[in-house]
A = this chain, B = another copy of it.
Amino acid sequence: MIVSTQRDTALTRNQSLVLEALADAKGPLTAYAILDQLRDRGMRAPPQVYRALDKLVADGMVHRLESINAFVVCQLPDCGSRETMIFAICSDCSQVTEIRDGGVGDRFQAVAEQAAFSVHKSIVELRGRCAHCRAS
């Protein structure tokens, strides 16, 4: 159930700044971390950041990680926001790997159907350790 996604409108200045901050970051950032980074480029208050994030998330360019209240730039091409994605979040370094897996979405549908539940959005976040942190 891929619902597409990328709106055609250009990004506003704030949206571009926020997206850039997330793209430059090594891992996920909280809204307030983004705000701090962008203060010297004119960002002054939380609503500005949250509004930009709303748009970027709606367009699927950024994902919100519910379990850590943070945001990460989308790592995969053609990532509609409604698709089932798996986020593997390293508990040590907090880096995130984004995984697309249709099978999981199908399984959710099946399981939900048993419970007479209709799924609109799936949140899947795996906490653990990435290869790099396990090695060190």
Contacts and interface: CB of A to CB of B under 8 A. Distances in A.
Interface in A122-136: 122-131, 134
Interface string A93-136: 00001010101100110011011111111111111111100100
A6 interface: no
A124 B122 CA distance: 7
Interface size class of A (residues with CB under 8 A): 20 to 34
A136 to B, nearest CB: 13
Interface stretch (A15-23, A24-32, A47-55, A84-92): A84-92
A71 to B, nearest CB: 14
A66 interface: yes
B134 A127 contact: no
A90 B125 CA distance: 19
Nearest to A90: B117
A122 B86 CA distance: 10
A73 to B, nearest CB: 17
Contact of A111 (B66, B101, B127, B130): B101
A98 to B, nearest CB: 9
Interface of A: 66-67, 86, 88, 90-91, 97, 99, 101, 103-104, 107-108, 111-112, 114-131, 134
